[in-house]
Each structure stands twice: as C-alpha cells, then as structure tokens.
C-alpha cells in the first residue's frame, strides 16, 4: 500500500528548503550590494538620541528679549557632533537646521567636549559684522551680546548619521515668535561670500584689483576697497531682480564726496538719453541718489536727498527702500528728505506737483548687478572707497530693523 502522507511531507520539506535557500541568497546579495555599491549597510548600527527642541527667551543688552533655539539631549548613546572640540566619544553626528524661510544651515559647533547626554545646546546666528545670515553656531553656552534676529516660524532640527546617510531624528517643536519676518533674499560681503536666501552662493566676477580688509573691533566687518578702477559684477539672477518692494541695505566708506559714484545697481546705460535700469544707487557728491525705469511707461525717474547726507572717510549705513510703491532713504538710521525728478541727469526736471509724483514700479531686465561702477562705457562713475556688508530684501525694512542693523553693524 502506498504511504501518501509521508511522500507529501517530503515534498513540503523540499519546497521549504528551496525557499529558505533563496531567502539566504537574496540576503547575502543585499549585503554584498550594500558593501560594494557604497550604500548604507543594512547591518549598519546608528546611534540612539532622544532630544527636544524649543524656543527659549534670552535677554539681550538693554533688556531686549530675544528667542533662540534650545536643543536638549534627553537621553543618548555616546556621540559627538562633527567639528566638536575634544574630548569626543561615540559616533559622529551632523546637526542640520531648516529655517522657516527655506534656508538649510549646518551650525558650527562651539562645544566644550565630553558627554552630551543631559546637556542643553543653543543654536543661534553668528552675529559678528563679517558673518552672513547663513552662519550659525551650536554651543553648550547661552549666547551673550546682541544677536541678529531669528526669522519667525517653525525651525526644524535634524540629526544625521553622516557615515550611513541616515536621519536619526527630526524635531519641529521650536517655534520662534519674536524676530524678523524674513531675511534678505541676497546678501554678504562684496568680493567674498554673497548668498541667496537658501544659502547658495551667487556667482560673480572681480574686475581690477580691489583689496579685502576687516575693520576690526567694534564693527568686525569685512569689506572691499575700490581704487576708482575696480568693480564687481554679479551675474543676472532672479534673486537680484525686483519688480515690487525692495530694500538696499549697505555699509559704505567713500574716500571722498566730491564726485558722482555708482555704489550698486542692476541696469545698463545705453546712451546719454537711453537707459535700462531696474535699480541703481549712487552718491552724487555728498547726496544719495536712486534711479529706476518705470516698467509700464518706460519713463526714467530718480530721487535725490535734498541736503548733504554722507561724509567722506567714515563708515555710514545707507538704506534705500521701496515700500508699496513709495521710496524712502535712510543714512545711519535717520530718514532723509528727498525730491522726485523725471530725468536721468541728477537734479534735472524736479517734480513739484504732488499729484504728479509717480509710483515706483521697478522694471525687470537681464543685466548683471554691478558694484563699484555703472554699467556704461561712456559714464562708468567709478566708486572710490570701501563697501562692507550689504543685503537686498524683497520688502521694506522697518525703522526698528534699520536701527537694529545700525547698532549691530550688520545689513
């Protein structure tokens, strides 16, 4: 008589063996693929970190409250941050910060070293005059002195295993409510780091031999000195083009105030009677001058301060603002009276009838942005002197923000 049950069991056993063998082969293949292709190994051990991010208020000099991001390591296996001072232990971890306005930051560690479990770390901007709004610090000490303001909104703090390219944790509980609504869309120091909002660098070319320097204390501001034959050109970029609100925020030290100088602008002087200007900021002797083309009519306008506003051989903080179609000018935080003109020649054809004062409607173009000269072969209007920190905003800075920049030597 045939034993059908035993024969069936043998068949099932053989099938299971085949399946197990296939699974084993696939598993080995995955491990080998991970090793040879450079992908994170499925056998890789990453570190365990339990942390909490939140906004924490600190009091700045003068009693002004400011919020920073506090990051507490509640529980963790031994680890250290990339770039941390020794002694270090455990796995290396990279800290990444995503800001409410879209910047991706990698704060520089200023941590004394040792075990991080139980510590509260503080994330805040490097607020020295030569730093950009992309420079941040993570420290085990609370910040002191005046800080650049945080952008309001949710700050995301991520910890990354750089060896395995794995996200260890992501925390979005830090919500800043006291700060600025947005940083500049572009800014930095001419001739070195100039960045978009997302902290990617803008391309530029240096023409001539401008000299880099630093003011030292108390400003601690990097700058570029132009000898009257130098300029910097930044390639056409959507970040540098404005058709609505605008703030040009810039620190200047002109050598003298006895000539016409273009400081910064995006446009082209085609002939004595034809220009194509998005925006252009000049010093006309000791007055501040701003010109633009109307994007609807093509008419060329300028505004110029009514009285001397700048001096030679000293640092000054200059703001040109277009807010809701209306211009404003500030020097060292003080609002400057000005007059409108329908002309491309300084002081010609003033507009005296209030009903004829134009709305500022900036006209787009595809020209580079130049610093230190006008884009013109006939009338270059070279700048002679130094230019420090500068920034371009797609909104009008408030009086409080202008005062804050002036007091902290920032833009």
Q: Which of 98, 343, 372 is nearest to 230 (CA)?
A: 372
3-state secondary structure of 400: helix
- Burial state string for 61-93 with b = 16 or more CB within 10 A and e = fewer than 16: eeeeebbbbbbebeebeebbbebbeeebeebeb
> CA 108, CA 91: separation in Å to the nearest integer?
18
Identify how many contiguous H helices and E strands the chain contains and give both numbers.
2, 27
> Which residues are 192's β-sheet partners?
none
Q: Do 150 and 225 belong together in one domain?
A: no
> CA 149, CA 395: separation in Å to the nearest integer?
16
Task: Name the token pair of 138.
Answer: 């993570």
**Inside any domain, residue 324:** yes
> Which residues are 155's β-sheet partners?
174
**Inside any domain, residue 121:** yes
Q: What is the CATH number of the domain that holds 159?
A: 2.60.40
> CA 153, CA 224: separation in Å to the nearest integer?
34
Q: How many other C-beta atoms can be found within 10 angstroms of the C-beta atom of residue 53?
A: 24
Report residue 351 CA to chain centroid gap.
Answer: 38
For residue range 200-231, what is the model confidence (pLDDT) as tens digits? 889 999 999 999 999 988 888 899 999 999 99
E strand or H helix that includes residue 12: helix 4-37
**Inside any domain, residue 250:** yes
Report residue 301 CA to chain centroid gap.
Answer: 30
> CA 241, CA 236: separation in Å to the nearest integer?
8
Q: For the purposes of burial, counting CB atoms within 10 Å of the CB of 99, is it exposed (0-12), middle (13-18) or buried (19 or more)?
A: buried
**Inside any domain, residue 4:** no
Q: Which of 138, 104, 136, 105 is nearest to 120 (CA)?
A: 138
**C-alpha R_g of the chain:** 29
Q: 143, 176, 209: which is the final residue of a domain? A: 176
Task: Name the token pair of 147.
Answer: 């800080």
> CA 328, CA 303: separation in Å to the nearest integer?
9
Range of the domain at 302: 186-408
Q: Do 144 and 194 belong together in one domain?
A: no
**Inside any domain, residue 363:** yes
Q: 176, 204, 236: which is the final residue of a domain? A: 176
**Inside any domain, residue 359:** yes
Q: 129, 155, 176: which is the final residue of a domain? A: 176
DSSP string, 123-134: EEE--STT--TT
- What pLDDT score was predicted for residue 198? 79
Q: Do 228 and 333 belong together in one domain?
A: yes
Residues 133 and 100: beta-carbon distance below 8 Å: no
Q: Do 223 and 148 belong together in one domain?
A: no
Q: Reply yes or no: is the peptide bond before residue 349 cis, omega within 30 of 0.
A: no
User: How many domains are there within the chain?
Assistant: 2
For residue range 33-46, what is the model confidence (pLDDT) as tens digits? 444 444 444 445 78
Q: Which of 296, 265, 264, 238 is nearest to 388 (CA)?
A: 264
Q: What is the CATH number of the domain that holds 232?
A: 2.60.120.200
**Inside any domain, residue 404:** yes
Residues 188 and 196: beta-carbon distance below 8 Å: no
Q: Which residues of the chain have pLDDT under 50?
A: 1-20, 22-43
Q: Do 359 and 250 belong together in one domain?
A: yes
**Inside any domain, residue 235:** yes
Q: Do 385 and 249 belong together in one domain?
A: yes
Q: Do 190 and 68 belong together in one domain?
A: no
Residue listed under structure tokens 């110029």? 304
- Start-to-end CA distance of the chain, whole Å, equals 98
308 Rama class: left (phi>0) / alpha (psi -120 to 50) / beta: beta
Q: Do 65 and 124 belong together in one domain?
A: yes
């Amino acid at each position: 008589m045939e034993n059908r049950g035993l024969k069936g069991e043998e068949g099932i056993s053989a099938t299971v063996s085949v399946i197990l063998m296939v699974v084993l082969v696939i598993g080995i293949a995955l491990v080998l693929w991970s090793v040879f292709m450079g992908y994170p190994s499925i056998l890789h051990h990453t570190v365990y970190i339990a942390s909490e991010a939140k906004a924490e208020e600190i009091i700045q000099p003068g009693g002004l409250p400011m919020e920073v991001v506090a990051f507490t390591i509640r529980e963790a296996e031994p680890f250290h941050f990339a770039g941390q001072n020794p002694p270090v232990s455990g796995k290396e971890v990279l800290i990444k910060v995503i800001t409410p306005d879209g910047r991706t930051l990698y704060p520089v560690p200023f941590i004394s070293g040792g075990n991080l479990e139980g510590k509260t770390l503080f994330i805040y901007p490097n607020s020295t005059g030569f730093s950009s709004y992309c420079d941040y610090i993570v420290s085990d000490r609370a910040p002191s002195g005046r800080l650049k303001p945080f952008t309001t909104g949710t700050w995301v703090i991520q910890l990354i295993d750089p060896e395995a390219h794995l996200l260890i944790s992501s925390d979005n509980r830090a919500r800043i409510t006291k700060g600025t609504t947005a940083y500049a869309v572009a800014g930095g120091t001419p001739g070195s780091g100039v960045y978009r909002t997302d902290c990617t660098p803008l391309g530029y070319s240096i023409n001539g031999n401008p000299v880099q320097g630093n003011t030292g204390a108390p400003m601690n501001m990097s700058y570029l000195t132009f000898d009257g034959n130098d300029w910097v050109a930044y390639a056409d970029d959507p970040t540098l083009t404005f058709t609505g609100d605008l703030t040009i925020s810039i620190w200047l030290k002109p050598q003298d105030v006895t000539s016409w100088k273009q400081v910064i602008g995006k446009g082209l002087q085609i002939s004595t009677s034809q220009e194509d200007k998005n925006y252009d900021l000049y010093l006309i002797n000791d007055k501040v001058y701003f010109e633009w083309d109307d994007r609807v009519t093509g008419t060329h306008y300028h505004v110029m301060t009514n009285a001397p506003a700048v001096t030679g051989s000293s640092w000054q903080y200059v703001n040109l603002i277009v807010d809701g179609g209306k211009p404003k000018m500030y020097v060292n935080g003080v609002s400057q009276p000005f007059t409108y003109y329908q002309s491309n020649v300084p002081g010609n054809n003033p507009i005296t009838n209030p009903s004829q004062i134009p709305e500022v409607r900036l006209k787009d173009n595809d020209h580079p942005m130049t610093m230190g000269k006008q884009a013109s072969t006939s009338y270059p209007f070279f700048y002679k002197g130094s230019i420090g920190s500068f920034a371009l905003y797609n909104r009008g800075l408030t009086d409080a923000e202008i005062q804050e920049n002036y007091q902290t030597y920032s833009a």
